[in-house]
Structure 1
Amino acid sequence: MQAMTLPLSQLFAPMLGIFAAMYLLAPTFPVARLWARVAVFIVVWLVVARYLEWRIFTTVLPASGTWYQVGWIWFCLFVELLTFTDQFILYLTFLRRTDRSSEADQHEHRLRSLPDDELPSVDVFIPTYDEPFEVLEKTITGALCLDYPNIHVWVLDDGRRPWLKELCEHKGAGYLTRADNLNAKAGNINHALTKTSGEFFAIFDADFVPQRNFLMRSMGFFADPKIGIVQIPHTFYNEDPMQANLGLHRGLPDEQRFFFDSIMPARDGWDGAFCCGSNSVTRRAALRAVGDALPTQSITEDILLTLVLLRKGYVTRYLHEPLAIGLAPESLDAFFVQRQRWARGAIQTLYLADGPLGPGLGLMHRLLFFPTHWLSLGLRALTVVVVPIVFMWTGLAPVVDVTPESVFYYLFPAILALNGGISWFAPHAHFPLAAQVSATIQSFKILPTVLGTLVKPTGHAFRVTPKGVAARCASYAAEIFWPSAALMALTVVGLVVNTIPEWRMIDHPAALPMVAFWSVVNIVVLFFVCMTSLQARMGRAEERFDFDESVLIETGTGERLSGRVSNISLSGAGVLLGAGIDCPRGGEPLRVHIAQVGWIDAMVVQRRGHLIGLQFHLPQSLERDLLIRKLFTVARLKGNGVIACSVNRAMLKNIWSMAAPLPHIVTTGAKPASLSPTVRLPAESLVIRPQPRIDDLAHLAGVRSLHPTSFTEPGCVS
């Protein structure tokens, strides 16, 4: 290796300069201003160009030796260049960005001023295959509550389940099925399009619950005739596998936030946002222009639909607001099923005339839709882990003529610049260590999928992402844990071996500090990969939401106690009783009155001082629907903001205004009617006064349900 002798002040000058520019000066720049984005872009890529000039002309071109030594050096450079290409496209994307909330405000005001019959009709599609009752119930309930007058909700059941048909009948939703499952989700939706006639159609995956004002916020954008699709971000109310398995839900955003919060608003600035399958609204006239059906040549029909419409002059508009919430993958198995499908579908588009390489697209759109991320993700992550292991065990170097001084002078400034720029463009959304852990985890499954699809682009089965109980079966991902543990062991032992002169495989002692630093970083990453592969125990069947609200408790003896809810779900709640109040005994049946819901049968299952844990007995009923509405309307979702949705808009539109404080119930002395067996009434027969008070729920609680209490999915635990 060539020695590089520079004074310390000159050696560290590039690093210190980049640190000052990217981490001290750049944060003072307004990211919304074009000149600031261009300035950061230029600085970052000048630094990267400086590094690449050194990397190619100093560490690669002088390489000599056997074919495999030279080949290994060029392979490592290829992976690095592929990564930089992906990063360059990302930085180009960040040069533009949009925030369309003010436009949505104007559109919503306009739509709400129109008579109901002047609003365009919308079919709401909920495609489903094997999702369980506890998942579908929330989505159907939320869709039926959409605050939009001219809609029809359709459940598209490719599982052909009688219990789901019965549920739809009692909820008031339409039910459609077909004889086969040809073309999976796209075929399911295409079948529904032949049976419906709405001017627009919205799609919600079976696990996404729309906010009440979803359509009022999104439909107005279609006043622009060039808008073919409006896409809303995917927001989640549960922890994804990395958050759950590492216990980092309070400090780490979910894995898709960087994409939906930073990348999609930037893509929208280039008119390059794309349909993400769920949480979208599509103009039926635009679809008619391309055959009145979703494309089925790729298993990611959403991206392909965007490209097909783009060639016809229709744009996908992105509104960055959490107007629908859903389930993040609940296990690594579910996560990989989802990501492998996305990766395979993206690679498939390369072989299609309607894909990014086909005619009719501009250069920027080709770059935006070229699947560089899927090509580089797994290859880069595995190479970063494997290269030092190969070097320590075989002496096969990935570069030539590199010294610790040159690493400080060229490599570290480039790393600081790239990460600093992304952190500036996407503040609070980019975490380099977490990103590396996530990329390494995905590389074990995604890289084989990408390579397999490049060789064989078609003929792969469509796998639905597991949801609910089915997604939480595995205790750990063995195919991730053991390879990661083996790589970590090889790294640790390789370090130890190379510290002993008699056993050392590295011919250049000066390289050992660099390899040691690199290896320590990899050990940390692989440790977190192993931890993430261990499935965290799911303590509850239903997600709990933090709450702070007064409740009234009635014991079996008729005594009434006041308390405050600390957390609540469809299956139970934690209630903090006031000082001096005797806690009900464990196992004691009681009733709880929750504002905007009514009386719920419950039982004490846990006691910790004045905090009691309640388990609800809440079969299919009006109260259950009201509780779904309440939870998914006012629950604060782990940093994702406030979400909203509910049930049966015709019946509940006015109930939402019932907000009188709970103590009013206590002072009236009126005892609510007992929770009697189900009284089955049609929704239109239930008369509700405008703006009723909360104690009017006493009457509603007596009307136990609009649905049969005996209804459950076979094997379902309510």
Structure 2
Amino acid sequence: MNAKKLKNKLLIIMTVLSTIIYLLWRIFFTLPFGEGKFAFTWGVMLLAVEVLGMIEAIIHFRSKSSIEYPERPNISDDMFVDVDVFIATYNEPYELLYKTVNGCVNMDYPDKSKVHIYICDDSDRPEMKELAKKFNVNYITRTERKGAKAGNFNNALKHTKSPLIVTFDADMIPMHDFLTATVLYFYLNEKVGFIQTPQSFYNPDLFQFNLFSEGRIPNEQDYFYRDIQVSRNKTNSVIYGGSNTIISRKALEEAGGFYTESITEDFATGMNIQSLGYRCYAINEVHASGLSPSDLKTLIKQRDRWARGCIQAGRKLNILFKKGLTLSQRFSYIAAITYWYSCIKRFIYIMSPILFSVFDLTIVKCNLLQTLIFWLPMYILNRMALKKLSNNIRSIKWTNVYETILFPSLIPSVILETLCISKKVFSVTKKDGADDDRSYRIRASMPHIILAVLSFIGIGRCISFIFETGTIGVSVVLFWLTFNLYTILMSIFFMLGRQAFRSSERFYVEDDCIVSDGKMQIKCRTNDVSENGVSIILDEPEYIDYKKNMKISIKTERYSTEFKAAIVQV
């Protein structure tokens, strides 16, 4: 065992031990007996969410203690079998599908005649037929649209026959190496069910963009796909993400096809495949990128669907008693479902110091010394462990910010779905820009504004108490009020939004190029490119007549292109 692994193992052991000691203290010595029914009930609720959070953390630490990466088999070109590529679409714009199909057509493969691409159109649009014709790919539609995306893919299964199936959402553009980097894993053994690659995004996610943190924090989904998912390899409980995935047709057919009884068909389908004994893996290399939701309303609708769908799938498939799942798989999937209850947990954590400082309710019976002895070591070690074991992708601060932003919108959905009250209609995630206005964002931020006001009042009362009594007994409450206020203010700032000026994303690309006006040629290099333009850097000053039409030529080892251009800025 190398020094780094030993340090991580010691950190996990110390964190788990401090957590157990803290919970024992909380359970046996801190419940607010004799403080009234409401205070006692809230105290029990706070303890319950703490216990739940600690169990989730221990499961996560256990899975992170020994990461399992699948080996990359070396296979010859003739072993790359036929592959069907399914692109799901319902109402996405033509321009978006164009990029995805173009990416699929340009995927590398030893024998490209073995790659069969299908636009699976669930709305029978003429423009999608034209797109398929333009790229010389296949087009599949259906008249009865039951089962949403799962039904769409099941219909495609009936019209195809390749042993491997790739599923892409309409916006997910595969890189040239997607197939050559994933097909080989099916030669690890005969019972590989699917390979899940990360869902990466070529635009900043809404958290990065609205908080002006594009270069400071990773995409919010990176932590799940490149950290959590890979850690689930050990227990064979990798979650099928619905896109950027390659699946064994045999495994899929044995599982009854794509599961149609849940709004998150991917979550349920993956579990069904694993329950049959198939081995499924997640890899952390990015091989496709898509569009992250770019407005608040779309983001909330997406997370609402994910939350309801996971809870719904867990209930309908009965994880505790589902045949074929191992004990580790059951725990892992239960942890994935209980994650969506973190919205309730976040609300309880925020309200608890407010109830004490503003409404004079004792939620936890303890003094400052006891808190410093039992809580502080646990808190510090948990912060260190999360940051260390997530490879610095995620910290407690950003986890709290993300949860605080979303919890008011998710609590009603989580409670209703838990009570088996499901939504009748769900819309697909929009992929074509903003869908909310300032009034919607203000309404969505009202719970945060109310909590911010209460937190300010609580902070004021705590400071007043310290000065009046000369004691610091409420300092821990003051700490939590201040900590929570920071995340609440960040949430309000996020809700207010940020105006987007660019119509398309820029990508930093440095390639040699030539600019010419028909008479002269200037060698230069690209700095960044987008759908609408390119910025170039010259090695030395040159005079270029901005009134003339220009031609730019770019040539690399993999491709060459030439296009007309006009100078718009120097």
Place the TM-score, normalised by the shorter chain, in its bin. over 0.9
* Cα 1:522–1:508 shift into 2, 3 Å: farther
Paired with 2:544 and 2:489, the residues of 1 have a C-alpha distance of 45
Structure 2 portions without partners, runs of 5+: none
1:123 Cα shift?
Answer: 0.7
Distance 1:275 1:46 in 2: 33
Match of 2:174? 210
1:546 counterpart = 2:508: yes
Alignment of 1:288-437 (within 5 A): 288-291=253-256, 293-353=257-317, 355-370=319-334, 371-400=336-365, 402-437=366-401
Structure 1 residue identity aligned to 2:568: V
Distance 1:206 1:87, change over 3 A: same
* 72, 76, 90: which one aligns with 2:42: 72
* Conserved? CA contact 1:495–1:516, under 8 Å: yes
464-473 or 388-397, larger mean C-alpha shift: 464-473
Label 1:155 to 1:316 Cα distance change in 2 as closer, same or farther (>3 A): same
The root-mean-square deviation of aligned C-alpha atoms, in Å, is: 2.5
Aligned counterpart, 1:572:
533
Report % sequence identity: 27
The amino acid of 2:554's aligned partner reads: I
CA offset at residue 510 of structure 1? 4.6
- 1:602 corresponding residue in structure 2: 565
Cα offsets for 1:419-466 (capped at 9, x unmatched): 222223222212221111001112122222111111125453232111
Deviation of 1:200 after TM superposition, in Å, equals 1.6
Give the stretch that moved more between structures: 546-555 or 409-418: 546-555
Give the distance between the partners of 2:536 and 2:501, measured in 1 at CA: 18
- The separation in 2 between residues aligned to 1:302 and 1:520, in whole angstroms, is 40
2:4 is paired with a residue of what secondary structure? coil
The offset of 1:387, in angstroms, is 1.6
Between the aligned partners of 2:97 and 2:108, the Cα distance in structure 1 is 20
Shift of 1:498: 4.9
User: Which amino acid counterpart does residue 534 of structure 1 have in structure 2?
Assistant: L
Matches of 1:601 and 1:457, distance apart in 2 = 57
2:553 paired residue number: 593
> Alpha-carbon deviation of 1:474?
6.4
Matches within 5 A, 1:518-537: 518-537=480-499
Is 1:447 aligned with 2:408? Answer: no
Specify the SS of the correspondent of 1:83. helix
Paired with 1:70 and 1:385, the residues of 2 have a C-alpha distance of 17
Matched, 1:29 2:15: no
Q: Which amino acid aligns with 2:90?
A: Y
Amino acid at match of 2:137: A
Distance 1:216 1:578, change over 3 A: closer
Structure 1: tracts of 5 or more residues without a match: 1-25, 608-718
2:524 to 563, 577, 581: 563
Q: 1:264 aligns with which of 210, 229, 238?
A: 229
Q: Secondary structure at 1:604's aligned position in 2?
A: coil
2:26 counterpart of 1:55: yes
Aligned partner (choices 442, 446, 468) of residue 478 of structure 1: 442
Letter in 2 for 1:283: S
1:394-422 residue CA offsets vs partner (Å, 9 max, x unmatched): 1012111x222222211111111212222
Task: Give me the whole-angstrom Cα distance separating, in 1, the residues matched to 2:470 and 2:141.
Answer: 68
Q: Is the aligned partner of 1:242 residue 2:204?
A: no
Name the CA shift for 1:574/1:328 in 2 (closer, same or farther; >3 Å).
Answer: same
Counterparts of 2:64 and 2:541 in 1: how far apart (Å)? 58
SS of equivalent to 1:88: helix
Find the counterpart in structure 2 of residue 98 from structure 1: 68
Summarize the Cα distance change of 1:572–1:474 in structure 2 as closer, same or farther, 3 Å threshold. farther
Residue 360 of structure 1: SS of its match in structure 2? coil
Q: Given the superposition, is the C-alpha separation of residues 208 and 375 from structure 1 closer, same or farther in structure 2, using an over 3 Å criterion?
A: closer
Q: Is the 8 Å Cα contact of residues 122 and 152 (structure 1) preserved in structure 2? A: yes
Superposition misfits of 4+ residues, deviation over 6 angstroms: 472-476, 501-504
In the alignment, which residue of structure 2 is the partner of 1:631?
none
Asked if structure 1 preserves the Cα contact closer than 8 Å seen for 2:255 and 2:269, the reply is no
Q: Is the 2:196–2:281 Cα contact (8 Å) retained in structure 1? A: yes
Query: For residue 58 of structure 2, what is the amino acid of its counterpart?
Result: F
Query: Of 117, 134, 152, which residue of structure 1 is paired with 2:95?
Result: 134
Aligned length: 562
1:110-129 matches, cutoff 5 A: 110-112=75-77, 114=78, 119-129=80-90
1:497 CA displacement: 4.3
Q: Displacement, 1:525?
A: 1.0
Does residue 1:188 correspond to 2:158, yes or no? no
Whose radius of gyration is greater, 1 or 2?
1
What is the alpha-carbon distance in structure 2 between the residues aligned to residue 510 and residue 578 of structure 1? 63
Alpha-carbon separation, structure 2, partners of 1:570 and 1:69:
58
- In structure 2, C-alpha distance between the alignment counterparts of 1:329 and 1:169, rounded to whole Å: 29
CA contact (8 A) 1:96 1:267 kept: no
In the TM superposition, what are the counterparts of 1:647-686 in structure 2 within 5 Å? none
Cα displacement (A) at 1:328: 2.0
Structure 2 contact 310–337 (Cα < 8 Å) conserved: no
CA distance, structure 1, for counterparts of residue 47 and residue 325 of structure 2: 30
Give how far 1:356 is off. Answer: 4.6
Counterpart of 1:683 in structure 2 is none
Give secondary structure in 1 for the equivalent of 2:415.
Answer: helix
Q: Which amino acid aligns with 1:486?
A: I
Q: CA deviation at 1:326?
A: 1.5
How far apart are the structure 1 equivalents of 2:417 and 2:213?
Answer: 34
- Alignment-mate amino acid for residue 488 of structure 2: L
SS at match of 1:203: strand
1:169 aligns with 2:133: yes
- 1:25-63 deviations in whole A, cap 9, x for unaligned? x9x8333xxx66554332211111111122122211x62
The residue type paired with residue 348 of structure 2 is T
